[in-house]
Amino acid sequence: MKELLKLCGFTDKEPETELARIEKVFKRLGITDEDIETGKQRLHKYYDIDLQGLRKVFRLIIKELVNAILAKEDGREKLIYGFMCPGIDLLGSAFMTKSDKVFSIHHSWAFHIVIGCIFGKIVPVLEDAEKTWLKAGAVAHCANVKTIAGPLSMGLFPNPDMLVTSAYTCETSSKTLDILHELYDIPVWYIDHFKDRAITEYPGPSDRVAKLTAESIKRFVEKVQSITGFEIEDDLLIQVKETKRKLEKAITEMRKIVINSDPLLISSSHENIWGCLLSLTSTIDGIEEATDAINMLCNELKEKAARGEGDVEKGAPRVLAICPAGQTDPRLEYLLCEVGIAVVGIDFTMGEKSKKHSDDPYLEMALGSQQVSLELPPYGRIPLIINACKKLKVNGVLDRYHVGCRAVVADALLIEEAVKKELGIPVMVMEWENFDPRSYNHQQFKNRLEIFREMMIENTGNKS
Amino acid sequence: MNNECFIFNERLDTHLRNRPSELEEAKRNGVKIVGFFPGNYVPEELIYASGAVPLCLIHGGNPKPAETALSSVPRVICPFARALIGEMMLKENPFYSAVDMVVAPITCQHLRKTAEIWEYRGEPEVFKLGIPHQVYDGLEVNDFAERLDALKDKLQALTGNKVTDAKLTDAVKLYNRMRQLLRKISLMRTSNTSVISSMDFIKLNHVSFYADPVFMTEVLEEIYGELAESNTASDNDAPRLLLAGPNIAMGDYRVPELVEAAGGNIVIEEICEGVRYYWNEIEAGDDLMKSLAKGYLTDRVPCAFMSSSAGKRLEFMTKLISDFHVSGVIWYELLDCEVYDSEAYFFTQKLSEQNIPMLILEADYGTADIGQFKTRIEAFIEMVKEEVE
């Protein structure tokens, strides 16, 4: 156990009480000695665990999960869980900074990393959710929603005092929360806006839609204020936003180092770790700690580049991948490296930043939330992907679609068509479940990726 | 459509057959045709008041368009949404080919993506109508009313006609009358005798989405009168069933047909898309646009895509079960409709507490599952019969 925690950035200086808390949580999550061994092996195999900055990031993620699971025992009186809810990381950090009686978390992200990526034990959680209304099979329910329903039905997390989601990101999440409310009587809140931007309103965010989103977020905060009794001032939100901006800047800087590297400095199996880090609802102190970890990592990556080291062979075909890296399973990303394909970018992280800004923190949040890839229709998303391909000088596109999410599924073939037509580079379309390790088919994926790699090499050769 | 009579009323049947050529003629005379996606969130009154012809694009059931769409979208997009995409690609359906603009309410992901794909392909013009997925108070009604104002502006620009209060009031009255008549016809089924079969009632609904509304209302008056006067009382002791689901498209009649053939009697439908929402009328207040917003958004039972809708729909369904003396529920969901599939579990649990059995059928527009459906429906009806006895 201590060895595993050391790999995850915990030091001998950690108080015994902290280690006891982790042990307690691991026990509650059913983590056995055998799982600890598996965890160590997976950390060594799938992650650049020698990087001290990465270890510190893992430490923060584990601590977030432990704090969430023990929140009630720690005396937190109100628990607020966000799910598929843009802005909840910022709002949650503000709630937690304001009061130590409240705990707010986008609880599934840290859970995915620890239970899924490190221990490889997410499947029983998915299966538990499937016993109820999120059945397996042709309907292809999103496994992300299973990772919210499963832990609650299994009693892994304490029942929250409020669950909040957005009704516009996807109605699968809002419907899941609707059923959770009906079955378990958990209070639910929905943030809403109209996802009806006209084609003429692109590429920038729509002021009209932003106004609605801001109003809706404000009402959620008012609701939180009514149940907690404290007030969230705009100044606090601005302060949290500024602190988070430093973290975002550090991650952007790190991605720039990786994008321009050859050999690829760090595999895309780490991408969901950065995503998780951005979604943590730590207090301001915690966000600063995360920023320090990423800055340390940037320096380590530069040193690694100077040594000429990388996770993929030098000169490997460069690829833009569609959709985030596997959230609960690093094997596909690892396989890409093994086959010799360098994923240098992911469309979800390549969104155009909003050029519009506002002094109103709610409006600022709302403006930003419209620009992410998931929120865009094909005529917004496809040009973004084409531009990213050009900018990254990729040799191909891995057009994997998360089958549980109809929003991304529906674009997959249009992306293929547009990339082939406009850029003339190979596209590999692949159905896959971003949150479900059972969708990983090693031999089939390996065969297809090898062919894809050959196609890219041949295509590049023909062009030159 | 084949040459057989589509609907039991000859005048309506003839009207439906002639409607495409009527629409072509109207277009030649400068009239605009405005299609819209089903779900009962687009105020037809507004389209009608602008001088355009509203058409609800409700064709489905035929596997060809749904399969054609597979070159544009993967299989997990629901068959109805794929049928819409496929119809646009095939350009064989005269109603779909006639439209100058489409109003796409942003309801479920499947229909939202369909609208976006139509927009991406460039024709016809699409107006996306945002629907609040959660209604807490008047804020959402105001927001929706603003979107309806934007739609009004768009329609005025398209048609060149001004939507006056007088025209809108007349349109509201006309559509209210249509809803009222459908409700009256539907309510005749609360008695123990069936005056109209579910198939006929669903088809009546489907025709109402394509027909001229003045003509439709006139014929509905006639049908209602005939049904009220006719001595159709029978000793029909078939189990009384409720048909629930997200969508029953024009042409997707396998389930009601199989139920009828197996000796079941569907006496009421709780369907989101494909059956006109007729339980409420628009209460025209001083601000007509706000009246429409309220009528379409809050004065009705919310569809499954709405955020907190399961409890409200269960309550409504329970009332229908009681009012229509229903003994069993047939839940027909389209393959890959994850929202309805989530709710199926909840409804099964809650209805079983009321001793109402529920059969869940999940299908696309293919024919491979007909045999399995037949067996399951027959077994279910037998079980309901035994429980009733």
B277 Cβ under 8 Å from any chain A Cβ? no
Stated as kind and residue range, the H or E segment containing A80 is strand A78-83
Nearest-CA neighbor of A167 among A159, A158, A176?
A176
- Cα–Cα distance for residue pair B32/B127, rounded to 1 Å: 14
Q: How many CB pairs under 8 A join A and B?
A: 156
- How close A163 comes to chain B (CA, Å)? 13
- Taking the CA atoms of A215, A219, A221 and A225 in sequence, report the sign of the dihedral they define: positive
Given this model, what pLDDT does residue A199 score? 84
Indicate the burial class of A336 (C-beta count within 10 angstroms; 0-12, 13-18, 19 or more).
buried
A414 contacts in chain B (CB < 8 Å): 72, 117, 120
Interface of A with B in 216-275 (CB under 8 A): 219
> pLDDT tens-digit profile of B193-202?
678 999 999 9
- Here the tokens at position B103 are 């109003």
Nearest to B342 among A176, A196, A404 (CB): A176
Q: Is the pLDDT of residue B192 over 70?
A: no
> pLDDT tens-digit profile of A262-283?
999 999 999 999 999 999 988 8
Residues in contact with A450: Cβ distance below 8 Å, sequence separation at least 6, in sequence order: A339
- Cα–Cα distance for residue pair B68/A371, rounded to 1 Å: 32
Partners of residue B101 on adjacent β-strands: B34, B125
Q: Is the pLDDT of residue B233 over 80?
A: no
Chain B residue closest to A140 (CA)? B336
Nearest to A407 among B113, B127, B341 (CB): B113
Given this model, what pLDDT does residue B86 score? 96
Cis peptide before A263 (omega within 30 of 0): yes
- In this structure, are residues A7 and A58 in contact, taking their beta carbons and an 8 Å threshold? yes
- Cα–Cα distance for residue pair A145/B35, rounded to 1 Å: 34
- Cα–Cα distance for residue pair A292/A300, rounded to 1 Å: 12
CA angle in degrees (0–180, nearest 5) for A440-A445-A451: 170
User: What mean pLDDT is predicted for residues A121-134?
Assistant: 94
ipTM of the complex: 0.93
Given this model, what pLDDT does residue B234 score? 60
- In this structure, are residues A54 and A48 in contact, taking their beta carbons and an 8 Å threshold? yes
Nearest-CA neighbor of B221 among B266, B167, B182?
B182
Nearest to B307 among A167, A219, A409 (CB): A167
In SS3 terms, chain B reads as CCCCCCCCCHHHHHHHHHHHHHHHHHHHCCCCEEEECCCCCCCHHHHHHCCCEEEECCECCCHHHHHHHHHCCCCCCCHHHHHHHHHHHHCCCHHHHHCCEEEEEECCHHHHHHHHHHHHHCCCEEEEEECCCCCCCHHHHHHHHHHHHHHHHHHHHHHCCCCCHHHHHHHHHHHHHHHHHHHHHHHHHHCCCCCCCHHHHHHHHHHHHHCCHHHHHHHHHHHHHHHHHCCCCCCCCCCEEEEEEEECCECCCHHHHHHHHCCCEEEEEEEEECCCCCCCCCCCCCCHHHHHHHHHHCCCCCCCCCCCCHHHHHHHHHHHHHHCCCCEEEEEEECCCHHHHHHHHHHHHHHHHCCCCEEEEEECCCCCCHHHHHHHHHHHHHHHHHHHC
Q: Is the pLDDT of residue B14 over 60?
A: yes
Identify the band that residue A301 occupies on the pLDDT scale cut at 50, 70 and 90.
very high
Identify the band that residue B1 occupies on the pLDDT scale cut at 50, 70 and 90.
very low
- Cα–Cα distance for residue pair A102/B262, rounded to 1 Å: 58
**Overall residue count recorded for chain A in this entry:** 464
- In this structure, are residues B347 and B314 in contact, taking their beta carbons and an 8 Å threshold? yes
Chain B residue closest to A190 (CA)? B134
- Taking the CA atoms of A30, A31, A34 and A39 in sequence, report the sign of the dihedral they define: positive
Ramachandran quadrant class, B366 (left: phi over 0; alpha: psi -120 to 50; beta: rest): beta
Chain B residue closest to A211 (CA)? B143
Map out the domains of chain A with their CATH numbers.
312-349+395-464 (3.40.50.11900)
Give the predicted TM-score (pTM) of the model: 0.94
Q: Is the pLDDT of residue A134 over 60?
A: yes
> pLDDT tens-digit profile of A360-377?
999 999 988 887 777 889
**Is residue A234 helix, strand or coil?**
helix
Between A281 and A393, the more confident residue is A393
Q: Is the pLDDT of residue B58 over 60?
A: yes
Indicate the burial class of A203 (C-beta count within 10 angstroms; 0-12, 13-18, 19 or more).
middle
- Here the tokens at position A72 are 């009630």
- Cα–Cα distance for residue pair A316/A450, rounded to 1 Å: 12
- Cβ contact, residue pair B127, A198, below 8 Å: yes
B304 Cβ under 8 Å from any chain A Cβ? yes
- Here the tokens at position A255 are 């991605």
Give backbone dihedrals phi and psi of A191, rounded to 5 degrees, phi first. Answer: -95, 140
> pLDDT tens-digit profile of A201-250?
888 889 999 999 999 999 999 999 999 999 999 999 999 999 999 999 99
Residues in contact with B20: Cβ distance below 8 Å, sequence separation at least 6, in sequence order: B94, B95, B98
Q: Is the pLDDT of residue A395 over 70?
A: yes
- Cα–Cα distance for residue pair A69/A159, rounded to 1 Å: 10
Interface of A with B in 130-189 (CB under 8 A): 132-135, 138-142, 167-168, 170-172, 174-179, 181-183, 188
B121 contacts in chain A (CB < 8 Å): none
- Cα–Cα distance for residue pair A167/A194, rounded to 1 Å: 9
- Cα–Cα distance for residue pair A330/A58, rounded to 1 Å: 14
Instruction: Give the rounded percent of residues in chain A with a pLDDT score beyond 90.
Output: 81
Mean per-residue pLDDT over chain B, rounded: 94
Residue with tokens 């093994």: A338
Q: What's the gap between Cα B60 and its chain centre?
A: 12
Question: What's the alpha-carbon Rg for chain B, to the nearest Å?
Answer: 20
- In this structure, are residues A119 and A39 in contact, taking their beta carbons and an 8 Å threshold? yes
- Cβ contact, residue pair B133, A171, below 8 Å: yes
- Cβ contact, residue pair B130, A414, below 8 Å: no
User: What mean pLDDT is predicted for residues B283-300?
Assistant: 95
- Cβ contact, residue pair A195, B127, below 8 Å: no
> pLDDT tens-digit profile of B118-127?
999 988 899 9
A212 Cβ under 8 Å from any chain B Cβ? yes
Given this model, what pLDDT does residue A370 score? 83
- Here the tokens at position A349 are 């992280």
- Cα–Cα distance for residue pair A261/A302, rounded to 1 Å: 10
Give backbone dihedrals phi and psi of B385, rounded to 5 degrees, phi first. Answer: -55, -50
- Cα–Cα distance for residue pair A148/A43, rounded to 1 Å: 24
Stated as kind and residue range, the H or E segment containing A227 is helix A207-228
Given this model, what pLDDT does residue B140 score? 92
Ramachandran quadrant class, A359 (left: phi over 0; alpha: psi -120 to 50; beta: rest): alpha
User: What mean pLDDT is predicted for residues B337-343?
Assistant: 94
At A185, the amino acid letter reads D
> pLDDT tens-digit profile of A314-338?
999 999 999 999 999 999 999 999 9
Residues in contact with A249: Cβ distance below 8 Å, sequence separation at least 6, in sequence order: none
Q: Is the pLDDT of residue B315 over 70?
A: yes
- Here the tokens at position B241 are 């069933």
- How close A77 comes to chain B (CA, Å)? 26
Given this model, what pLDDT does residue A256 score? 94
- Here the tokens at position A370 are 């419209």
Q: Is the pLDDT of residue B2 over 60?
A: no
A198 Cβ under 8 Å from any chain B Cβ? yes
Tell me the CA end-to-end span of chain A in Å, nearest whole number: 53
C-alpha pair distances (Å), B377 with each of A26, B264, B372: 48, 9, 9
Q: Is the pLDDT of residue B259 over 70?
A: yes
**CATH no. for B10-161:** 3.40.50.11890
> Residue A343 gets which letter from DSSP?
E
- How close A235 comes to chain B (CA, Å)? 26
- Give the burial string for A135-159 (b: 16+ CB within 10 Å, else e): bbeebbbbbbbbbbbbbbbeebbbe
- In this structure, are residues B327 and B384 in contact, taking their beta carbons and an 8 Å threshold? yes
- Cα–Cα distance for residue pair A320/A345, rounded to 1 Å: 5
> pLDDT tens-digit profile of A55-110?
999 999 999 999 999 999 999 999 999 998 888 999 999 999 999 999 999 878 99
Interface of A with B in 412-441 (CB under 8 A): 412-414, 431
Nearest-CA neighbor of B244 among B134, B320, B181, B353?
B320
Per DSSP bridges, beta strands B101-106 and A342-346 are unpaired
Q: Is the pLDDT of residue B3 over 60?
A: no
- Cβ contact, residue pair B128, A219, below 8 Å: no
- Cα–Cα distance for residue pair A220/A256, rounded to 1 Å: 35
For the ranges A350-359, A383-392, B17-26, the lowest mean pLDDT is seen at A350-359
- Cα–Cα distance for residue pair A17/A29, rounded to 1 Å: 18
Identify the band that residue B232 occupies on the pLDDT scale cut at 50, 70 and 90.
low
Identify the band that residue A12 occupies on the pLDDT scale cut at 50, 70 and 90.
confident
Nearest to A175 among B117, B131, B339 (CB): B339
B369 Cβ under 8 Å from any chain A Cβ? no
Residues in contact with A418: Cβ distance below 8 Å, sequence separation at least 6, in sequence order: A382, A385, A386
